[in-house]
Amino acid sequence: DAGVTQSPTHLIKTRGQQVTLRCSPKSGHDTVSWYQQALGQGPQFIFQYYEEEERQRGNFPDRFSGHQFPNYSSELNVNALLLGDSALYLCASSFGFRGYEQYFGPGTRLTVT
Amino acid sequence: KQEVTQIPAALSVPEGENLVLNCSFTDSAIYNLQWFRQDPGKGLTSLLLIQSSQREQTSGRLNASLDKSSGRSTLYIAASQPGDSATYLCAVSPSSNTGKLIFGQGTTLQVKP
């Protein structure tokens, strides 16, 4: 049973560029949440997708956008990258959007230079 | 606004010692609380989930307790091993109508042989 997978593992981008990160949920899960984790900090909630719609959003600017596909996989897009966007981006999946147990992927390390 | 705090930020103990990690939250109206483990540069591994109606959960050498009224949770690790060295994060789910998790900053544990 495959767990949550994310791609790519690492990514280096230049300030001002755009980036797309991908996530496939754990088998049987239909909800995907994205988190940003800066070095030495706890993860911060970006947004959650359920039934292909953004259901809830954290305190992140519109430069952060996402998408969920019919197979429940998801993308996180970040436009106009800033140095401060450098972080580990974590994807979590669950069955249903309610407060059920969440399973996390290995993350994508984004470095903005 | 819910805030989660973990003290201490770092802890070093000799192998074999029993230890307790602390987590506090400001709003007692939570749906559940999860404890995670994170190895350096990696994703999060779920250790224990406690529903708001529960007092504790156990898995192997780990025992997590929850006291909603005082806004506290503890993670007890028995007979610590060097392989337990990692960062431990606690996270609360604010309500049953959201999958958003609010994290503490974590406690980095080092178990010395």
What is the pLDDT of chain A when averaged over all its residues? 94
What is the pLDDT of chain B when averaged over all its residues? 94
Q: Which of A41, A97, A106 lies nearest to residue B42, judging by beta carbons?
A: A106
Contact across the interface for B44 and A58, Cβ inside 8 Å: no
3 state DSSP class of A26: coil
Contact across the interface for B98 and A56, Cβ inside 8 Å: yes
Q: Which of B41, B97, B101 lies nearest to residue A102, judging by beta carbons?
A: B101
Residues 6+ apart with CB under 8 A from A71: none
List, for residues A4-35, the tens digit of each pLDDT value. 999 999 999 999 999 999 999 999 999 999 99
**Which of the listed ranges A47-56, B74-83, B93-102 does the model predict with the highest average pLDDT?**
B74-83
Q: What is the arithmetic mean of pLDDT over B58-83?
A: 97
Q: What is the arithmetic mean of pLDDT over B26-41?
A: 93
- Phi, psi for B72 (deg, rounded to 5): -135, 150
The predicted structure's pLDDT at residue A2: 75
Judged against a pLDDT cut of 70, whether residue B45 lies above it is answered with yes
